[in-house]
């Protein structure tokens, strides 16, 4: 595999230690938790919970908010944060359907909060 990386110019450095800014990450996890809770609450009121797929998505967002809360109350790790945020997917991948416009900004906030958690903060990247 290393040979292919060199061949295609994609040589990557060895693993670099990452020291999370735990306090800042906890703030970001709280933002994500609140965004997921707000989206799930809007979804509960915006659409019939009789639809099994919709109900499952509400439950998914509720579960992810719980995971964010649990992680925030403990000591987050880089791997844990990445595992969490890579599970998050948008409610709608195209235009927001009529009558559900209030979910759009809430979905945007969820996705922005997840994107912020994926990025390393200044000072988190250590050395080999």
| Tokens representing residue 23 in the block | 């306090």
pTM of this prediction exceeds 0.85: no
CB-count exposure of residue 16 (10 Å: 0-12, 13-18, 19+): exposed
pLDDT tens sequence across 6-64: 555 655 555 667 789 999 999 999 999 999 999 999 999 867 778 898 999 999 999 99
Residue 116: pLDDT band (50, 70, 90) is very high
pLDDT confidence of residue 106: 97
pLDDT tens sequence across 46-55: 677 788 989 9
* The residue to which tokens 């209030």 are assigned: 102
Residue by residue, DSSP assigns 33-62 as HHHHHHHHHHHHHHS-TTSHHHHHHHHHHH
């Amino acid at each position: 595999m290393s040979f292919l990386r060199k061949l295609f110019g994609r040589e990557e450095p060895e693993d670099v230690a990452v020291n999370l800014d735990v306090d800042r990450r906890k703030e970001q996890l709280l933002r994500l938790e609140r965004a997921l809770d707000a989206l799930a609450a809007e979804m509960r009121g915006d659409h019939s919970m009789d639809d099994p797929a919709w109900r499952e998505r509400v439950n998914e967002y509720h579960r992810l908010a719980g995971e964010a809360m649990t992680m925030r109350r403990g000591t987050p790790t880089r791997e844990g944060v990445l595992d969490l945020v890579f599970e998050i997917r948008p409610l709608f991948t195209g235009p927001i359907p009529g009558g559900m416009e209030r979910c759009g900004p809430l979905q945007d906030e969820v996705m922005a909060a997840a994107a912020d958690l994926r990025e390393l903060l200044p000072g988190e990247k250590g050395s080999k």
